[in-house]
Amino acid sequence: MRTYVYDFADGDKDMKDLLGGKGANLAEMTRLGLPVPPGFTVTTEACRSYLAQGVAPAELEEEMAVHLRRIEKTMNRAFGDPGDPLLLSVRSGGRFSMPGMMETVLDIGLTDATVAGLAAFGGERFAWDCYRRLISMYGSTVEGIADSAFENALAALRRERGVACDPELSAADLRELVGTYKEIFRAHTGTGFPQDPAEQLAGTVLAVFRSWNTERARLYRRAEHIPDDLGTAVNVMAMVYGNRGPGSGTGVAFTRDPATGARGVYGDYLPDAQGEDVVAGIRDTLPLQELARLDRRCFDELVRAMDVLERRYRDLCDIEFTIEGGRLWMLQTRVGKRTAAAAFVIAAQLVDEGVIDLDEALRRVDGAQLGRLMFPRFDLSGSPERIASGVPASPGAASGRAVFDSRRAAEATGPVILVRRETNPDDLPGMLAARGILTSRGGKTSHAAVVARGMGRTCVCGAGDLEVDPEGRLFRAGSVTVREGDMISVDGTTGTVYLGELPVAPSPVVRHLEGDPENAPVDGLDAGSGPLVSAVGRLLAHADTLRRLGVQANADTPEDAARARRFGAAGIGLCRTEHMFLGPRRALVERLILAQGEQEVGAVLEELLPLQRADFIGVLAAMDGLPVTIRLIDPPLHEFLPPLEELLGAETARERALLAAVRRMHESNPMLGLRGVRLGLAIPGLFAMQVRAIGEAAAIRVRDGGTPRPEIMIPLVGDVRELALVRAESERVLAGIDDAPPIPIGTMIEVPRAALTAGDIAGQAEFFSFGTNDLTQMTWGFSRDDVEASFLPQYLRLGVFETSPFETIDRRGIGRLIELAVKEGRGARPGLRIGVCGEHGGDPDSVWFFHDADLDYVSCSPYRVPVARLEAGRAALPRR
Amino acid sequence: MRTYVYDFADGDKDMKDLLGGKGANLAEMTRLGLPVPPGFTVTTEACRSYLAQGVAPAELEEEMAVHLRRIEKTMNRAFGDPGDPLLLSVRSGGRFSMPGMMETVLDIGLTDATVAGLAAFGGERFAWDCYRRLISMYGSTVEGIADSAFENALAALRRERGVACDPELSAADLRELVGTYKEIFRAHTGTGFPQDPAEQLAGTVLAVFRSWNTERARLYRRAEHIPDDLGTAVNVMAMVYGNRGPGSGTGVAFTRDPATGARGVYGDYLPDAQGEDVVAGIRDTLPLQELARLDRRCFDELVRAMDVLERRYRDLCDIEFTIEGGRLWMLQTRVGKRTAAAAFVIAAQLVDEGVIDLDEALRRVDGAQLGRLMFPRFDLSGSPERIASGVPASPGAASGRAVFDSRRAAEATGPVILVRRETNPDDLPGMLAARGILTSRGGKTSHAAVVARGMGRTCVCGAGDLEVDPEGRLFRAGSVTVREGDMISVDGTTGTVYLGELPVAPSPVVRHLEGDPENAPVDGLDAGSGPLVSAVGRLLAHADTLRRLGVQANADTPEDAARARRFGAAGIGLCRTEHMFLGPRRALVERLILAQGEQEVGAVLEELLPLQRADFIGVLAAMDGLPVTIRLIDPPLHEFLPPLEELLGAETARERALLAAVRRMHESNPMLGLRGVRLGLAIPGLFAMQVRAIGEAAAIRVRDGGTPRPEIMIPLVGDVRELALVRAESERVLAGIDDAPPIPIGTMIEVPRAALTAGDIAGQAEFFSFGTNDLTQMTWGFSRDDVEASFLPQYLRLGVFETSPFETIDRRGIGRLIELAVKEGRGARPGLRIGVCGEHGGDPDSVWFFHDADLDYVSCSPYRVPVARLEAGRAALPRR
């Protein structure tokens, strides 16, 4: 028969689906013999049933009654006993942690009849304080009365009594406050505060069920990708009191340092206090070690309990505990959150301690953490002034002068931080010009956050402490006022805002991975980073032994190629050639555009040939022995021309010719225009020149004793006939070059039609490389630039997207095209080599998809190479 | 055993694959007992073998010799006999007609030794004239000597003799010319003209084989979608001579009038002439009826032969014949080409004559022909002056002043025809502004042709007779000079160019189909159109009984809806709403864009509501009882704003606000931006207003006794969640409207991802309608505007495209997405109604695809409705 209520003694840590995380861990501690107050968990199933039916399951009341009697027996107190009442706490707790969403009602069971009994146990003041807390928590949780109604009454009483804080209020004051609270309760509900303890308990449990479906909870789950149909469990526990005097107290403890991963016992302790007081920060907490001085026995017991928990959970645990009159009670534990650095350090430590193996260690870290460790960071050794914190929306560390207006940001010289209440598309120029973006409103899906991530700008958003006054060109943060032009620093990795300019240093992990002598450790900054860089190195090395996916880099210059190689790239998966036409060579492109007839075109191409050849020699040398996949020119040529506005006042003949060319080449949707292979077929000789430069560069490298491995990649192919034409021409060109090694010719798969006809295309392609940026844009029918600035934030809020499809591959749509192309491409050409060179190649979730889709390699920007290596290894671990 | 040579007596008309069209028809005539000169056909298989191996099959020589002996026997002459030589003609002839690609060598067998024998038979002059023709035809066909070499020699001789034309040359002159031709031959080949008749024959046959693979032939086949691997057959036939004096002659004949389809014998006859003289137009031909006067016996025999052929082919036949000394010889027949009008008239006649049934009649016509019949046409009753003709590149009839420069065309007031040597993207503004486009260079895939078709502009291109002088602002055509500002008329349906302005009249077919009293017949113009309109009506009616596809129309106004209904549309498959926001309502859209906050937005929407409601009442009334599928607003709102340049000097506050809005809303790729459902989700209330207007309009129609059947279609959906959000809102709005009928809500499938996730989307959609324009653009990754102006012509020439994917659906790519979406959409929702509303809905080839893909209906512009009805019927006929 189905059971809706589990005694703590009847569950274990693996029953999170049914008991929620908190309930499962309470059960586990109980099974381990740790001192947990007696209690029970009402299952998520009961919650789901209640939400579906609108009424609680019929059996629930009786089951709860049975379990309540067990608590009474254990505690030797009775619920509702006026002499020595058992009080209960009720806390929500679902499968996944939802911080800030937790519903808690303490001291259930207090009534006008039992308050005296509690006073007999803990004193008058204690009892009335508990009672007023119950009424306000119950009122807000069960009846939806605004907290402020109770807070205002409390503040009024303080004013009346002329006291600054609650502890100065007397028992009589609190007794009077209970009366006031009851009136507030009646005014809002029309009935008196319930005097039946059973009614209090049942009402609270159902209110917790209902809390699952509040708008706030739904929004939170959507943001965190937690399914809506899980429901929450409810934990009912005998009250214990850390606020019963100097022999009592409450605290939190960690089995290792959650900031650095260092071994040892960490935490905070607050004597004579209840749980929420620790968090509220009203009084300064003591370091946990102080407890050893205050109550050695309890401290030793706690340390023993932590040891038991670490061995059981094989991981860092965090713990909430209460000491009531010299007796330790464990109120909660869980595998503790930690910083990215601590995650790596702890995982490696646990391997050394023989607790877990390397596979398990690799499961305990992820690419997002490694990515955060690779951003430059502020040097905080000068103890800079923190003035605010917000949502870490786009990682990085940026200092600059505060500017409150997008236009002025765009016009400013020197680094600026754009500060806005929130941003909108009008702010794009300013966001582009700024080093960092700071807003006082909005979360991870706000316009500022989405656009900044897309642009790679550092961003802290939703810093609620800021009062931004754009008209006054200033913001206030507490007592600090920052005016336009003042220097501030924003840390997009942590969400912290500092006053003044802070020194920025590359991450020690990057310095270690690069192993570059020019990038030597910075004095002091790397102190203590030894365990971290060692842990990262070990886990990356293990990932390399496991992974099936190759990891290459997108790199266009010898410098980038060399860096990528140091980061562990096994080649270049995307070497763009258009970047080689910038700077002084832009003039040649202009001449190419203006050339009349094949002869003039040919003359310009002749001039470009030696320049391109030199480019390729450099990249091939930097990647000697490894494949270098060179993509022929892709963007529309008019991108190399000056913008129309600049030419409007054309005076010279050249300017007028350029103006005419800009007008002629204007495209209403350049992304969908004359690009890639279309350009190659439209300008005879252009691709041939590039192919010749590649072939000749390779031949020169061979003659110089190198091992060049160039590959030629054709962009934007939509039909096999395009590829066949370019391939035939390329082969003709290459056949005439002595000493060149065999050069594979392949294609990008970035146009949806290419994926749909991959079987045809494979007949002409020696490799495929998915260009997931364009593939995403075309398959969804939106351009990244236009989308991120306009409706992407809205779509994230509405839940149309769970994540931006430009960050993480859309498995259902784009993924389907990729799977189809892999299947049919390899069907037509068994063993066809297939990779990806879009930005998704360095995104952790996407790397897993590419592993699952059986790709051969991913290629990503050099700084993402370690992330991709790590995730490719993790993706290869057996799935649980 | 394989046979490479077929005697004419051994084949029949259904052996076209092996014998080519000409050979199969010669065989058929022979089987029918018609007087065909004896001969044989060398098969396409022999050609393929030769092209593959580089040498002719070993058996070929011997087989040809055997068949040659049969000819000798029948003709009672011997090949190479100096006394009375048998001469042969050799003509190429593949499976498909390739006009202008035909290789012909006549009089094979003439040598220095046999020429005297021929003289004995036909006279000295005749014999030497044949010999010089042989040398030049053989020289050019077999040895590749330029025709001009021989022509120059002939011209020099004419000058020397002081004569104007060849017939004035004497036998001695021609004998001298043969000597000169032989020298030319030797100068080019290094050897003398072959004196072995067998060598002449073998050399010619192999040269015909090789002619299959000339560049010109390849280009032609690519343009006509004829496969490259068919090869050509070669027909070898005993020479008969129409140039043997007054009792001889040659002619062409048609069994019905190929221009109108009228019954009777039509054709031309030229006494004392050989085949090519008829076509060359050197002398005026006689009407065929004159032959009855000249040679009654032959005429009667010819008429009998034509009757035999019509009964055999059950269709209009055209015939080439020769009369040699009072004896009729049939040289060629085939099912004759005809005008679009004749195709319909003849098909209906043949049904009336009991020759074919209606199904067969329907096979004999097609939508492209019907489409041509529906264009307006010039009234030629005034016998206007034809000054040139070119490629009929984009149908229609346009008169206007000639303009030779795109800029001036764009600035001109009144209708203009843009005249250019050829066009390029610089000419776009002028092409847009012009009524018609005329070029002197380029074919159906030239820039002018492709862009004009895309724009729907009348276009004649490649009019080689024109000498266009843009600097002089004039063109010459023969003796006529047309200067800028002179009025000309171009007929894009026939390719003809006229001097002056011509009256334009709607086609009689349209007037008949419309049956609109306001569109009554125009005096004189409809004369003789009775059989045509009757035939079109009958065949359309038959198509309607056969077709499984429904045909609806794209129409936005009551007028268009009414017209579409008269054309037979069974509803509106696409009613665009954005067209309803133009004109004075544009100001409301501007206000909507500038509105601050929900209240202002709401106020503008309130004003738009009654206007939209009135729009919908009109369209629903015009289509009462039939479905009207209304697409909610699709284009980006900034399309309603003035262009940036207009606002740059903004002075008023409103102008400045508009300027800011234009800047804010700028999108780099508007096709891929804030459009369709994205716009609906971004501007709360916009879609709801449209849905309310639809619901209220329907309710009003119901209360007025009508039967409104509106359907709501959501554009640009890429994910089911978008549709679910809009659907939920729409259902809320509709639930509040009394008297509204049930209104189905469906979606366009125009984003590739929608097709890829059609199974999901079907869960929220009551119907699908493929938007094949956007689907084509996004799946190929190119925008129609940008493509047609830039690389589409090039791609057609290169053979990457066989037809523009915007004209005919790309089955392999887009078609695959459609098939996938149909399968998975119906899989998720059995019986899901699926149509198409892109422009492909009216394209003949595409209609067949939509039939095959099992769609329920196509929707196209009103004028394409009859075309779609006809092709949907044809598609439903059993395939052969």
Residue A757 predicted with pLDDT over 90: yes
Give tens-digit pLDDT for B513-524: 887 544 444 455
Q: Are B781 and A672 within 8 A, CB to CB?
A: yes
Characterize B651-664 residue by residue with b for buried, 16 or more Cβ atoms within 10 angstroms of its Cβ, and e for exposed: eeeeeeebbebbeb
Nearest to B334 by CA among B57, B61, B98, B66: B98
* CB distance B577 to B640 below 8 Å: no
Q: Are B718 and A781 within 8 A, CB to CB?
A: yes
Nearest to B752 among A681, A779, A785 (CB): A779
Percent of chain A residues past pLDDT 70, beyond the cut: 97
Range with the largest mean pLDDT of A129-143, A795-809, B580-594: A129-143
Mean pLDDT of A829-837: 97
Flag whether residue B423 sits within 8 Å of chain A, measured between CB atoms: no
Query: Which residues in chain B show pLDDT less than 70?
Result: 1, 275-283, 516-527
How far is A74 from A64, CA to CA, in rounded Å? 15
Residues of chain A with C-beta less than 8 angstroms from the C-beta of B794 = 681-682
- Give me A207's structure tokens: 């209110």
Residue A155 predicted with pLDDT over 80: yes
How far is A402 from A386, CA to CA, in rounded Å? 15
Chain B nearest C-alpha distance from A815 (Å): 10
β-bridge pairing A377-378 and A627-631: unpaired
Per-residue confidence (pLDDT) for residue B519, from 0 to 100: 47
Higher pLDDT, A785 or B372: B372
How far is A423 from A795, CA to CA, in rounded Å? 16
Q: Are B725 and A800 within 8 A, CB to CB?
A: yes
Chain A nearest C-alpha distance from B726 (Å): 12
CA B321, B327, B333 angle in degrees (round to 5)? 20
CB pairs under 8 A between A and B: 186
- Give me A370's structure tokens: 């490694």
The answer for residues whose C-beta is within 8 angstroms of residue A809's C-beta and 6 or more apart is A772, A776, A815, A818, A840, A843, A845, A846, A849, A850
How far is B387 from B728, CA to CA, in rounded Å? 64
Per-residue confidence (pLDDT) for residue A277, from 0 to 100: 67
Q: Are A757 and B812 within 8 A, CB to CB?
A: yes
- Give me B436's structure tokens: 């018609």
> Is B225 an active-site residue?
no
Helices vs strands, H then E, count in chain A: 36, 33
How far is A88 from A65, CA to CA, in rounded Å? 13
Flag whether residue A668 sits within 8 Å of chain B, measured between CB atoms: yes
Q: Are A783 and B673 within 8 A, CB to CB?
A: yes
Q: How far is CA A156 from the centre of its chain?
A: 43
> Is A298 an active-site residue?
no
Q: What is the DSSP letter of B100?
A: T
Nearest to B678 among A785, A791, A817 (CB): A791
Flag whether residue A724 sits within 8 Å of chain B, measured between CB atoms: no
3-state secondary structure of A327: strand
Give tens-digit pLDDT for A530-567: 899 999 999 999 999 999 999 999 999 999 999 999 99
Nearest to B668 among A718, A721, A785 (CB): A785
Give tens-digit pLDDT for A206-225: 999 999 998 888 878 877 77
Q: What are phi and psi of A26, to 5 degrees?
A: -65, -40
A526 confidence band (pLDDT: 50, 70, 90)? low
Residues of chain B with C-beta less than 8 angstroms from the C-beta of A674 = 786, 790-791
Nearest to B341 by CA among B367, B314, B316, B370: B370
Give, for B141, the enclosing helix (H) or strand (E). Answer: helix B124-143
Q: What are phi and psi of B160, to 5 degrees?
A: -60, -40
Residue A750 predicted with pLDDT over 80: yes
Q: What is the DSSP letter of A38?
A: P
CA nearest to B724 within chain A: A800
Q: What are phi and psi of A211, to 5 degrees?
A: -60, -20
Mean pLDDT of A89-100: 89
* CB distance B574 to B859 below 8 Å: yes
| H helices present in B43-123, as ranges | 44-53, 60-75, 115-122
Residues of chain B with C-beta less than 8 angstroms from the C-beta of A752 = 752, 778-781, 813, 817
Q: Return the bridge partners of A497, or none.
A: A388, A490
Flag whether residue A810 sits within 8 Å of chain B, measured between CB atoms: yes
Flag whether residue A782 sits within 8 Å of chain B, measured between CB atoms: yes
Q: Are A672 and B719 within 8 A, CB to CB?
A: no
Give tens-digit pLDDT for A653-684: 888 888 888 877 888 888 899 999 999 999 98
Q: Are B670 and A673 within 8 A, CB to CB?
A: no
Q: Lowest-confidence range among A266-280, A746-760, B141-155?
A: A266-280
Per-residue confidence (pLDDT) for residue A519, from 0 to 100: 46
Per-residue confidence (pLDDT) for residue B790, from 0 to 100: 82
How far is B184 from B305, CA to CA, in rounded Å? 43
Per-residue confidence (pLDDT) for residue A61, from 0 to 100: 94
The answer for residues whose C-beta is within 8 angstroms of residue B331's C-beta and 6 or more apart is B36, B37, B237, B240, B275, B320, B321, B322
Percent of chain A residues past pLDDT 90, beyond the cut: 74
How far is B525 from B348, CA to CA, in rounded Å? 22
Using left for φ > 0, alpha for ψ between -120 and 50, and beta otherwise, residue B463 falls in beta
DSSP assignment of A141-169: HHH---HHHHHHHHHHHHHHHT-SSGGGS
Chain A nearest C-alpha distance from B47 (Å): 27
Flag whether residue B782 sits within 8 Å of chain A, measured between CB atoms: yes
Q: Are B781 and A760 within 8 A, CB to CB?
A: no
Flag whether residue A74 sits within 8 Å of chain B, measured between CB atoms: no
Nearest to A783 among B663, B668, B810 (CB): B668
Characterize B186-203 residue by residue with b for buried, 16 or more Cβ atoms within 10 angstroms of its Cβ, and e for exposed: eeeeeeebbeebbebbbb
Q: Are B674 and A786 within 8 A, CB to CB?
A: yes
A380 confidence band (pLDDT: 50, 70, 90)? confident
Catalytic residue among B47, B298, B575, B837: B837
Higher pLDDT, A305 or A101: A305
